[in-house]
Chain A
């Protein structure tokens, strides 16, 4: 991949991010219901509502509010929430400390499930075991992750009492307790991902097994296993890495749902709360966070993909 192409893609990324801020801001600024009225409730006098609107700077012209917000995003000085007066940056940071590890562990669980099952499905494809594994992965993809979550709660929290049904102990309080509170959620998130990834692992392994370079390597005298490891792995990793990257949006959505099932104070909870409280600044910032993550991951996957696959250079 030439530096010039890379630069072009980088510029495009920045432009898309900028466009995203415009989209987010315009969508949210047309939401009905003034935040001041929401904050003050049904007994507020129109005078109070007006006073609060002024206090919050919501009577400024839209373009000015947009510039102010954008400036905050770029300098990472995100200001304070209208509703709670708390600094938004630390709120988001705190919720990321839940959702980040959740997605990470979920992905780990997914990989731990996908690799052995996918490889096994490929190797045993000619017999009943392989068919069984493939069917299992089909079922795994089909079950909604919140059902898996509820099932896990029912079995492990309510009936067996091994783990808590909900809640999250902050990392600062106890690393072990925090980890424990993410076990069931990560499994719920990772099971479905694992089923999905296992199919790609299977295809990747199959491709590798049938490929030319493998035969060449064998012809050169390498054993089947040696050839697999030395050449197959790198080539097989390409589609799997790609899929991992492309799965990020659905992992994020999955995390939001799982957070709801297990009442974890993560990004998803923050977003849903903020929307129903009309805490617009928080909503804007969280939505942009997701957009940035998705776009940047997309960009990185593309970049690494071109690096990995010499055919595309």
Chain B
């Protein structure tokens, strides 16, 4: 009896070990994770909605902009603007009237033909009084939009040198099918080379080749974006072949295993982002320009770029990035110099420093940079406490209520130097009126060159006033299996355009010229 009981126990124990082992053993079958011709891309943040006109989240544009939806003109990774749904355009009337010649023979992915009326509809949808487009303000200068034959004529109230660029860069510019607008959030319809197939919210989005597309036929049949909440699983997925590309690596610090392997390649290039320590110009000691300069002298940009971005970043000295027509490299203006920082603090009347709070949103670049910034500020006598808050709280507390001392955030919008003309913008710059005058002059300037020159004056002014402590321009780092070609070579477009992507074919000259030679 005793032995039978013991035997039973042993048997159960054995089963308990054997069954899981067998299950795992089955996993050892050779795995091919994708149907032939499907490119699987790993990314970090899933689109909160499929509608790029309802939310500014970059995650939406990453998938849908340029791939599914198209604009009259679009940005290229090289920083230029290229005609897409408009074959060309002419500007007249002192820069106030744009005439767009609409491409013929274009169809939406549901078969509907593209007409100038659709273009007019799309523009009017942006500027409608009740519209909730996130970047509506950029088209506030539009006076009228109408179709004339096979062209669309847009008149502005005043000359706007950034009009074409903004239309190409932001979701304001997507051209929609009026008949499909009601289901935009669940079944997006556009003219791009890919069309939407399905999604699992927070997990994956599937695109397939658009059969009606006017674009040259895509090399890949389908694309899937898969979302990972931590860099760990993303890296493991690439290593095991579950995905072939990592778009915008979450932790560029930890890609050593891919850098050293011949199976993978790293493609990197700048974005439009400005990671900065935003200074609340109205908060106590921070209202003193000497203190703000001290903070800037105290920050070691190189170390921060190394820690937060694994070296994939460009030091920044002002609110403008390489690629802006008015870019000046100001990174050397207040180069790292803790001694000078302490000196300025003493000069400003704070020989023993003072205390402040550094409020951080939950993004890894912010928390990583924040750790170093806090340490660096502490080293010059500014006692810094870190406070971590969620994004919605950041929006209400920091951005809306201006309740902060310092914060670190990446301003991803391109060419947004106009924020310095806004006296109510959250960093509360006291010199915004002067900038506003310069801005008006810049927009009214008769040539692009003179406009850029006036913008440069704005750049110099905000740098002299040390409005913020600009840290770096993050580079977008893409890791891909060797053999996957035609990927974007920079992060200048929020879209991760895959119209030129292929398995093993060399990118065409046209692709490379635009910056899709990755």
Contacts and interface: CB of A to CB of B under 8 A. Distances in A.
A168 B46 CA distance: 15
Interface string B48-74: 111100111100000000000000000
B392 A84 contact: no
Nearest to B362: A276
Interface string A39-52: 11111110010011
Given A39-B55, A84-B48, A183-B24, A48 B134 contact: yes
B132 A48 contact: yes
A interface majority secondary structure: helix
A94 B237 contact: no
A297 to B, nearest CB: 26
B226 interface: yes
B48 A83 contact: yes
Contacts of A42: 56, 395, 399
Given A39-B55, A40-B55, A269-B202, A51 B49 contact: no
Given A116-B12, A165-B236, A277-B48, A38 B1 contact: no
B391 A224 contact: no
A204 B130 CA distance: 67
B24 A163 contact: yes
Given A43-B135, A84-B185, A162-B28, A167 B56 contact: no
A5 to B, nearest CB: 39
Given A86-B185, A123-B9, A156 B240 contact: no
Contacts of B23: 180, 183
A262 interface: yes
Contact of A119 (B9, B133, B138, B242): B9
B306 interface: no
A180 B27 contact: yes
Given A37-B396, A262-B233, A277-B48, A164 B135 contact: no
A41 B232 contact: no
A220 to B, nearest CB: 17
B233 A32 contact: no
A127 interface: no
Interface string B1-30: 100110001001100100110011111100
Contact of B16 (A45, A113, A156, A224): A113
A242 interface: no
A187 B232 contact: no
Contact of A273 (B4, B51, B202, B240): B202
A258 interface: no
Contacts of B186: 85-86
B136 A164 contact: no
A32 B136 CA distance: 25
Contact of A84 (B9, B49, B228): B49
Interface string A237-263: 000000000000000000000001011
Given A158-B239, A276-B362, A84 B201 contact: yes
Q: Which of B132, B200, B240 has the most CB of A within 10 A?
A: B132
A85 B134 CA distance: 16
A250 to B, nearest CB: 22
A285 B242 CA distance: 33
A94 B400 CA distance: 36
Interface string A271-290: 00101111100000000000
Interface residues of B, number: 63
A41 B130 contact: no
Interface string B381-412: 00000000011110111011000000000000
B391 A48 contact: no
Interface residues of A, number: 65
Contact of B229 (A45, A112, A260): A260
B508 interface: no
A34 B392 CA distance: 8
Contact of B132 (A55, A157, A263): A55
B303 to A, nearest CB: 28
A48 B127 CA distance: 11
A267 to B, nearest CB: 11
Nearest to A37: B395
B51 A162 contact: no
Nearest to B390: A276
B510 interface: no
Contacts, number: 167
A91 B9 contact: no
A51 B130 contact: yes
B170 to A, nearest CB: 9
Contact of B9 (A120, A162, A180): A120
A229 to B, nearest CB: 10
A41 B24 contact: no
Interface in B193-207: 200-203
B229 A263 contact: yes
B413 interface: yes
Contacts of B19: 112
Interface in A30-81: 31-35, 37-45, 48, 51-52, 55
Nearest to B409: A42
B328 to A, nearest CB: 24
Nearest to B138: A43
A101 interface: no
A195 interface: no
B136 A45 contact: yes
A65 to B, nearest CB: 18
A165 B9 contact: no
Contacts of A84: 48-50, 185, 201
B230 interface: yes
A85 B200 contact: no
B131 interface: yes
A43 B55 contact: no
A52 B132 contact: yes
Contact of B203 (A41, A116, A223, A265): A265
Interface in A147-190: 150, 153, 156-158, 161-168, 170, 180, 183, 187
Given A86-B201, A277-B48, A166 B132 contact: no
Contacts of B54: 39, 85
A116 B236 contact: no
B16 A116 contact: yes
Contact of B134 (A41, A113, A270): A41
A83 B390 contact: no
B228 A166 contact: yes
Given A33-B393, A51-B131, 6 more contacts: A32-B393, A41-B55, A48-B136, A51-B132, A165-B232, A263-B228
Interface of A: 31-35, 37-45, 48, 51-52, 55, 83-86, 91, 94, 109, 112-113, 115-117, 119-120, 123, 150, 153, 156-158, 161-168, 170, 180, 183, 187, 223-225, 260, 262-263, 265, 269-270, 273, 275-279
30 contacts: A34-B396, A38-B395, A39-B54, A40-B55, A41-B134, A42-B399, A44-B136, A44-B137, A55-B132, A83-B49, A85-B186, A116-B9, A116-B12, A123-B5, A123-B9, A153-B236, A162-B24, A164-B236, A164-B240, A165-B240, A166-B236, A168-B203, A180-B27, A223-B1, A260-B229, A263-B228, A269-B229, A273-B202, A275-B390, A277-B392
| Closest 6 A/B residue pairs (Cβ) | A165-B236, A166-B233, A85-B185, A33-B392, A41-B56, A33-B396
